[in-house]
Structure 1
Amino acid sequence: MNGVKDTKTALITGANKGIGFAAAQGLGALGYTVAVGARDDTRRQEAVEQLRASGIDAFGVALDVTSDDSAAAAATSIEKTAGRLDVLVNNAGISGRFDDGAQDPTTLDLDVLRTVLETNVFGVVRVTNAMLPLLSRADSPRIVNMSSSMGSLTLQSGRIMAAYAPSKTMLNSITAQYARRFADTNIIVNTGCPGYVATEFTGFAGERAPEQGAAIAVRLATLPDDGPRGGFFDDEGVVAW
């Protein structure tokens, strides 16, 4: 294969901590080469070293999901290192600030809304489309978009967060659109809900460990070719839209 590795390669965005790092551990343990996508150079390198110390083949990819140039450069980096991409886990996300009524719908700070959408929605589209040429070279490409039950219009779970929750609702809808577009291809895309996980993101208030939260990402990233498409899943099964 002209020197290109035959092992599968997975890119996880926001993989330097929390659920993203746990997903990297989970896929790495299954034999995947893990591309650790993260903005912070120091934290990214620390994550790579920690993964390698546990026997996982990992490399770092500088990636700011809010930047077109960064996404393009990340794709170039992965192409040089691995030649293709088998799995993309769009895990990077932000809650946005919610002090002083910033996410109360009656006092919603539109700058907060824009910032959250830039990462949680536009970032996913930006990175996905940058990686599609590499994913198209894989035999069984998988895309996993990490969402939240807070984005479920049916469940309406969690606190009122009028920037974060709608960003996940839109992410769910975008995922469905990708799934429709890829219906006649070998690319399988789904959305995963990790549950309420104790990470820096939640102020370590969740009841689930990062490994538990990452389990759905690992499962959706390793679906068989006849697996579900365009769905919203957690550990229990289908999550209501």
Structure 2
Amino acid sequence: MTGQRVALVTGAAQGIGYGVAQRLGALGHHVALFDRDAALLTQAEQALRGEGLDVSALEGDVASDASAKEAIALVEKRFGRLDILINNAGISPSHGGYSQLVEDVPLEEWDRVLAVNLTGTFYMCRHALPLMKARKWGRIVNFSSQGGRMRSLLSGAHYAATKAGLIGFTRVLAGQVGGHGITANCIAPGRIDTEQSRSFGDTDTYLKQLPVGRFGEAADIGDCQDFRVWAGG
């Protein structure tokens, strides 16, 4: 992959999304930062521009098909293309740091977690794919979690269901788009040191179970994502 590409990162105002956007910007690509938190989004845009990176902010909610469509349309209008889509946006209600019993999960919370974590990725992909297919090149990276691969004592059933669903979704997507010069990959991190993960509490007990003795950092994910974006040329 050579030259500047155009990337869009969801949930880019903080945490993993911010780290990924920072890494893509450092590689010389333009990065559209998509997030629903206007204040944090502005701070992220200013901070990354302060590092000399080529970024722009897009306020919106991945859980809205109309918002996802508008974000992709704005990128197309400005650049005429979208090369890289990073679906990172996600939520995981903490409830004191422990997984809720299934029967205790409020219906509205279940619906919101599915809408953001799983359906939002579907919305973003369905609107981005026509642009990528037209250019016969694209890279899609969807963020799952270890919570989608094994039982988690911290995350609820709704979070686990969405993250497992993303793995299956990405497998099907990869098979459908490969012939168009597009790759689709999934990254499933363990616990990363973000504001969201710190809300789960009892970090000392969790840290004792980790051979390296520390949580992952957003920069670690950026390095992994580099490979996924570069894979296949």
CA 1:91 to 1:217, structure 2 compared with 1: closer, same or farther past 3 Å?
same
- Counterpart in 1 of 2:206? none
Q: Is the 8 A contact 2:99 2:154 kept in 1?
A: no
- Counterpart in 2 of 1:9? 6
| 1:210 equivalenced with 2:218 (yes/no) | yes
**Matched position secondary structure for 2:215:** coil
- Counterpart in 2 of 1:48? 45
1:94-129 per-residue CA deviation (whole Å, 9 max, x = no partner) reads 003536987312433333221111111100001111
Give the deviation of 1:183 after TM superposition: 3.2
CA 1:219 to 1:62, structure 2 compared with 1: closer, same or farther past 3 Å?
same
Identity of aligned residues (%): 34
- Counterpart in 1 of 2:208? none
Q: Distance in 2 between matches of 1:214 and 1:157?
A: 24
| 1:77 equivalenced with 2:74 (yes/no) | yes
Q: Is the 8 A contact 2:84 2:229 kept in 1?
A: yes
Q: Is the 8 A contact 2:33 2:58 kept in 1?
A: yes
Q: Is the 8 A contact 1:102 1:109 kept in 2?
A: no
Aligned ranges for residues 1-241 of structure 1 at < 5 Å? 7-98=4-95, 103-152=100-149, 155-159=150-154, 161-203=156-198, 205=203, 207-225=215-233
Q: Distance in 2 between matches of 1:213 and 1:86?
A: 19
Letter in 2 for 1:140: W
Letter in 1 for 2:223: A
Q: Where does the alignment leave 5 or more consecutive residues of structure 1 unmatched?
A: 1-5, 226-241
Q: Would you tell me which structure has more helix in proportion to its own residues? A: 2
CA 1:187 to 1:138, structure 2 compared with 1: closer, same or farther past 3 Å?
same
- Aligned residues: CA RMSD: 2.2
1:42-86 per-residue CA deviation (whole Å, 9 max, x = no partner) reads 221221111111111111112210112111111121012211011
Q: Distance in 1 between matches of 2:154 and 2:40?
A: 30
Which structure has more relative contact order (CA 8 Å, sep 6+)? It is 2
- Counterpart in 1 of 2:210? none
CA 1:138 to 1:218, structure 2 compared with 1: closer, same or farther past 3 Å?
farther
Letter in 1 for 2:115: E
CA 1:42 to 1:157, structure 2 compared with 1: closer, same or farther past 3 Å?
closer
Q: Where does the alignment leave 5 or more consecutive residues of structure 2 unmatched?
A: 204-213
State TM-score, norm by structure 2.
0.85
CA 1:160 to 1:57, structure 2 compared with 1: closer, same or farther past 3 Å?
closer
Q: Distance in 2 between matches of 1:158 and 1:140?
A: 40
Aligned residues between the structures:
218
State TM-score, norm by structure 1.
0.83
Give the deviation of 1:195 after TM superposition: 2.2
